[in-house]
Amino acid sequence: MTRQERGKKIMEILDELYPETHIPLHHRDPYTLLVAVLLSAQCTDERVNQVTPELFKLADNPLEMSQYDAEEIQEIIRPCGLSKNKSKAVRNLSEMLVENHGGVVPQSFEELEKLPGVGHKTASVVMAQAFGIPAFPVDTHIHRLAWRWKLSTGKNVEKTEKDLKATFPKNRWNDLHLKIIYFGREYCPARGHNPYECPICSKFGRKPLFADFDKTRAAKK
């Protein structure tokens, strides 16, 4: 079975399980999505969603946010972790948006990635989910699943992104990114994963998954 054939079957499973997907980070516009994605680094979406209502009550646009000190922002976002660096990034990117883009989030990978704290993955999420521009954001979780499902041999997220883009139709990149995230959380976690019970790994998973799981299970007996 080719990678494209495997990808088509996996896409069918994902579509059946998740006919509709919603962005897990609460937001109102491209700016609030950008900030929420930035805060989600090494933090759960649930925790971010607990923090952002208070943050956006303080300021929900670049002009107002840029008028606060990073320390004031940090007090609110502290539960997200890495709050010192994130608060500086939120404050400084807000200022850059006002000064360089008229307070509007740019619809460009190049311009987004110039903003403090915004890497390629964050820019990809904003481009895909705020502007509907095809992108395939790959974080460590999607990177892991792509390897498990034999969709990529990439040893880094850049190679995995390239492989996934070559596997799936361009018009499906944006929603498949979300479906893979939801599937990973529900059926294919990093720890405690049983490949025999996983709807995808049981059909398309790499053999080492099963060998490692069997060794772990035998050791517990």
**Given 86, 139, 163, 179, the catalytic residue:** 139
For this structure, is 207 an active site residue? no
**Given 9, 57, 60, 121, the catalytic residue:** 121
Exposed, middle or buried: residue 97 (CB in 10 Å: 0-12, 13-18, 19+)?
buried
For this structure, is 121 an active site residue? yes
Distance, CA of 205 to CA of 196 (rounded, Å): 9
Q: Which residues are catalytic, by number?
A: 121, 139
